[in-house]
Amino acid sequence: MTSRPAVRLLALLALTALGACSKSHKTVPAPKVTLAPGCAALAAQAANPVPSLYTLQSNPSGIAVMREDASSTQCVYFTGVTQTTDVPQTAPHQWEYVFAPTSASPYNVFVAQTLDGGHTLFYNQAGDSSGSINVASLQSVQRRAASLPATRDVVTRGIQRFTGAGVVSNKVLVRYRGGSGAQARARAQEIEAAQGATGGFDVPAAPGGSYQRIVVVPAGSDAASFAAQLRSQSDVVDVFPVHKRFALLRGSFPVSDPHANNVDQWYLFADGFDHAWSYNLGAAAKIAIIDTGVDLNNADLSSKIDFSTGYRSAALTAQDTNGHGTNVAGIAAAMTNNATGFAGAGFNARLLVYNIFPDATASSDKQTADTADEVRAIQDAVGRNADVISLSLGSSQEVGSANGFDQAEHDAVAAAIASGVVVVAAAGNDADGGESGTPHTVLDYPAAYDGVISVGASALKDNNSGTFAGSTEYVASYSQFGPTLGVVAPGGDPGANDVSPLHWIWNYSTSTANLPADQCTYSHGTLPHVPTNCTAFFAGTSQATPQVSAAAALLISAAGGHGSLTPARVAQLLDDTADNIGDPHQGHGRLNIYKAIAALLGDTGAYTGPSKQATSPTQTVAFAYTNSGSNKPIILNVNYPNGIPLDSSGAFRMGDVPAATGTYRVGVWYDANGNGVIDAGDQFGSSAASCNSAQKCVMGTITMTTVGAGFSLP
C-alpha cells in the first residue's frame, strides 16, 4: 500500500494472465538463444520444483519466435524454430510470444508464467485466418418486459418454479403441439377438462411457434401438480409458470445519513444502491474484510462486527492504525439510517474484520502483509460462514521483485470459492505506471485467479461543475484491466490539490492513525474539533472493491441468505446487468446492483435507470470445433483452449488450429450463465463455410443469435 498526506490515493498493484494449456512436468535445459537488437537479458528463473516450460511449435517449421515482456525492452529471439522448449527467466510474469516477428503480420500469444509446468504454444501460418462478428446482432443481456424474440418455441433460461412470491398460484401457460385454429382449441380444451380445469384462453405464440393457452388451475390442486399432469399428455409440449409483474421498479430507498447524497457519496447513486435497498437490506449476508483492520472507536462500524481478530502476532488486534481497512469497511457496510456519517453500500450486512498488516509507524504507513496471514484469515472467514470475502490488496510491482502469483493464496482462494464463498478483489492501480514507474495493465493477484470477481475503478468527468447530474463516467487511467476483468465500480480519479468529493471516494478513516499526515482532520466537512469518526478521501480499485462485495452480499441476502447463490451465479448477475459506460477497459461494465437484484427477483417491469447494455464483443469467444450433435463444444485451439477473446470491434484471429486437424468449423459464443455448455439464453453464431487447417479460411461476418432449448452445434 502507499498513501499520500491529507487526501490519500491508496494504490494496489498488479500482474495477471491470459494463456492456459495442458500441463506436464518434464525438466529440460534452456535452449541456446540470441537476443534481438535492443533487447536486454533478464535474470535467470528462480529455482522452483515446477519451472515454467514453453514448447514452441509452428507450421511450417522454422518460423522465428521472439519472447518479450510487456515493456518490449527485455526479450529473447529464437531463430528457425522447429521445436524449442523455452524456460523463461524471472518469477511469475506476463510474456508475449511473437511468431514471425519480422513479418508484416506477426502472430502474438499472451501467456502468464506462474511456475506451473509445461505448455505448448503453436502457430499454424498456413491456416492463419481472421474473422469477425456482426456486432449489431449481439443481443441485450438484461431481461426485458417485451415479448420473446421471433424464433420457434423459445424457452427462457432459468429454472421454472411454480411457487414463490413472484409466481401466480392459480394459472399456468400450456404449450401444445400442432397449429392453431378451432380444431387445436377443441383438443386443448378436451385435455384441460380431463384434468379438471374449467377456464382458459388463447395467447399469441411466437412466429412459427406452437399453439398455447393460459389455463386456470383446478380448485384443490396447485400449479406444480397441475403442470406435471399436463406434461404427461402426448399433445402437450411444455407447461410454464405465470409470474407477477410490477408496473414500475422500486423507487429510491431514503436514508437519513447526512453524507448519503449524490455528491458526498456519489458512488452509491452511480451503482444504484439507493434503489437496490428497496428490495433487500442485506441482513442475511456476511462480508469478511481482510485488510488493515477497522477503527473499533467508530460506532458506525463496531456495531456491525460479528468477530474481529488479527493474524500477525498474538498481540495484534483488529484496531486499524492505517485507515485503509476502516475506509473499505465503511464503504461496504457502515451502519445506515442512524442520522450520522455515511451510508454503507451493504446497509445491514454483517461484518467479519481481519487485520493482516503490521501497525503503521509515525513515519510511514507503507506496511506489507504476507500471504500466510492472508490465507489464515481466508480460512477463518470460510469457517465462520462468510458469504463474501473482500480483498482490497494486491502484489508488489517493484521492478525486478519476485511478485504476483502465490500458490498458498491461490489455493486458499480456490478452496473458498469451492465452498460457496464469493471472493472479490481489486484489479490494481498501476495501469499508468504511477506506482511502480512501469505501467502494468494486467490484473493483479489475487484478482487474477480463476473464479475471483475482479474489480476495476471508474471515475466521473464533471467538467468541474461539482454536480453528479450530467456527469459522464469513464475508467480511471490507473485501473488495471484485461480479458478476465469482472466489472468496474466508482474508485475516483483526483488531480493535484483536488478536494472535490466527486473526484474521490469519501468515507471513514481511523481515529488511531500512527502516521501524522493520516491523523484526524476536519478539512473535508463539518466534524467535531476532536472527531470520533474520522473521515478521509481515498481513490483506487481498493475503494471500488467493497462496493462490489456489498452488491454480492445484497444479492445473497435477497436470494435467501448463506448458500443461496453460487459464486458463479453472483458473478453472472453482476456481469450481465452492468452498465455500458463506453470504455474499452470496463470489463463487463460498471456495477449496477439495482438491475442485478431486480433480475434476480424477476422484477422486469419498466426500468427507469440507465439504458440496458448490449453484450460486448469482448464477452464472446471464437473457437474451432469438429464435433456435431452436442451443445458442449470440444475446442481445438492450442493456445486458447477456452476460446479466443474477440476485440472490442468484434474481430478475432485464429492461428492455433493444429495442422493435422483438416476440416473444422468456427463458432462464436457468449456463455450467458457461465456453465460451459451452449444452452438457452446463450448467444451463438458460426461461419457459413467449413475451414481446413492446411489453408486460410474465408469466414465472412458471423451473425449471433440467442439460443433456445435443445441446441446442438451445427
Could you give the residue numbers annotated as active site?
291, 324, 542
Closest to 614 in 3D by CA, of 662, 668, 576, 567: 576
**Would you state the cell numbers that stand for residue 664, as one nine-digit string?**
473444422
SS3 for 588-602, per residue?
A: CCECCHHHHHHHHHC
- Amino acid letter for position 201: F
Closest to 97 in 3D by CA, of 110, 82, 114: 110
Closest to 600 in 3D by CA, of 567, 568, 577: 577
> What's the full length of the chain, in residues?
714
Closest to 56 in 3D by CA, of 105, 102, 100: 100
Phi first, then psi, for residue 596 (nearest 5°) are: -65, -45
Closest to 538 in 3D by CA, of 510, 500, 507: 507
Classified as helix, coil or strand, 266 is helix
User: How far apart (Å, rounded) are the C-alpha atoms in residues 536 and 546?
Assistant: 16
User: How far apart (Å, rounded) are the C-alpha atoms in residues 56 and 150?
Assistant: 48
Q: What is the dihedral of CA 427, 428, 431, 433, to 10 degrees?
A: -170
Q: Is the dihedral of CA 265, 268, 274, 280 positive or negative?
A: negative
Q: Are 427 and 444 in contact (CB under 8 A)?
A: yes
For residue 276, what is the enclosing H or E element?
helix 273-276
DSSP 94-158: EEEEEESTTSSS-EEEEEEE-S-EEEEEEEESTT-EEEEE-GGGPPBSS--SSPPPSSTT---SS
- Amino acid letter for position 65: V
Q: Are 125 and 59 in contact (CB under 8 A)?
A: yes
Strands 93-99 and 63-68: antiparallel
Classified as helix, coil or strand, 376 is helix
Closest to 713 in 3D by CA, of 652, 666, 656, 644: 666
User: How far apart (Å, rounded) are the C-alpha atoms in residues 369 and 371?
Assistant: 7
Which residues lie closer than 8 Å to 117 by C-beta, 6 or more apart?
Answer: 23, 24, 25, 50, 51, 52, 53
Q: Are 257 and 340 in contact (CB under 8 A)?
A: yes
In Å, the largest CA–CA distance within the chain is 87
The order of strands in the sheet holding 107-113 is 75-81, 63-68, 93-99, 107-113
Which residues lie closer than 8 Å to 714 by C-beta, 6 or more apart?
Answer: 628, 665, 686
- Amino acid letter for position 608: T
**Would you state the cell numbers that stand for residue 476, as one nine-digit string?**
480511471
